[in-house]
A = this chain, B = another copy of it.
Amino acid sequence: MNLSKDEEVKAAILEAAKNVFQKWGLKKTTMEDIANEAGKGKSTLYYYYKSKDDLFGELTMSEFTIMISKAKLAIQQEKTAKGKLKKYISTMLIELKQTVSLFPLLKGEIKGNKELIESLLKQVEETEERIIIEILKQGLISGEFHFLSKSDLNKAANVIVGIVRGLELFLFLDNDDIEKIEIITRMIAEGI
């Protein structure tokens, strides 16, 4: 049961990091701030995470994983591919703003360690594309998508990720502006 205990502490540290990031912003929080918030010594953090970058990376991916879980859950409750696509997009639009480390990353606000940043962005994009590809495949089989051809599938997924990313970052959505989200999802799924 030691593994489980270990994971528990790691999660608690991530939670503490999330709290202080929210309070002070990413750039202004130190490892000691995180340690204090977690009620641990600073060196203890290094027992669980080999570097600050490592901790940041795991926090970011944890936030992303949670978002993806919510999206997948929402998708499951939809039968049609169009419904799934709509749910996916609206979930991502709503949830991303709640994240403290993923959102700044996608906005390009994070500076140091280009390799880490690139790797995180790559993982995120690939995961998103994979999910959308699955949805598109289903729609292709069911014949829901009138204008999508099999050969365009990957490119279409890539385009949709780009569209959603743009909307996430450039559309000022007041806390769930349901109307706008409805317009967006309908436009993509059904056309204007």
Chain B residues whose C-beta falls within 8 Å of the C-beta of A10 in the assembled complex: none
A160 to B, closest residue via Cβ: B187
Q: Is the interface of A mostly helix, strand, loop or mixed?
A: helix
A9 in the interface (beta carbon within 8 A): no
| Residues 142-183 of chain A, each 1 if its beta carbon lies under 8 Å from chain B, else 0 | 001111100010011011101111111111000000011001
In angstroms, Cα B146 to Cα A168, docked, is: 26
Count class of interface residues, chain A: 35 or more
Q: A146-B192, A191-B190 are in contact. Are A183 and B166 (CB under 8 A)?
A: no
B147 touching A159 by the CB < 8 A rule? no
CA distance A165 to B163 in the complex (A): 9
Kindly identify which residue among B145, B156, B183, B191 contacts A159, using a CB–CB cutoff of 8 Å. B183
Among B144, B156, B169, B179, contact of A187 (Cβ-Cβ < 8 Å): B156
Would you list 29 pairs from A and B whose C-beta atoms are within 8 A, ordered by A residue? Answer: A108-B108, A136-B192, A144-B192, A145-B191, A146-B190, A147-B186, A147-B190, A147-B191, A147-B192, A148-B192, A152-B179, A152-B183, A155-B179, A155-B180, A156-B192, A158-B171, A159-B167, A159-B171, A159-B180, A159-B184, A159-B187, A162-B167, A163-B167, A163-B184, A166-B167, A166-B169, A166-B170, A187-B188, A188-B191
Residues of B within 8 A of A144 (CB): 192
Whether A189 sits at the interface, judged by CB under 8 Å, is yes
Contact call A147/B187, Cβ cutoff below 8 A? yes
Residues of chain B with a CB closer than 8 A to A147's CB:
186-187, 190-192
Q: Which residues of B have CB within 8 Å of A162?
A: 166-167, 170-171
Q: How far is the CA of A146 from the CA of B192 in the complex (A)?
A: 6
